[in-house]
Amino acid sequence: MANKLLAEKWENTLNYLEKAFAAEAFRVLGGFNYQPILSNPTLNRIAKILDLRFDFDELDALFS
């Protein structure tokens, strides 16, 4: 699975990758479009994924 593909170039990119890796022991199965929100996760999102408690008010106080 390819990651961070430009939507307008998705099909061409996958075709190129399939040709480039044709001799390998694995296949290119598909890909994910690039999405800015996924490339720059917020601290809040990371804390939720890791099931951590994070005091954002305390963090704001450190930087103000």
**For the residues of 10-56, what is the DSSP string, one character each?**
HHHHHHHHHHHTTTSSS----EEE--HHHHS--HHHHHHHTT----H
Report the number of distinct structural domains present in the chain.
1
Range of the domain at 39: 2-62
Q: How far is Cα 5 from Cα 16, in angstroms, rounded to an integer?
A: 12
2-35 tens-digit pLDDT: 888 888 999 999 999 999 999 999 999 888 888 7
pTM for the full model? 0.54
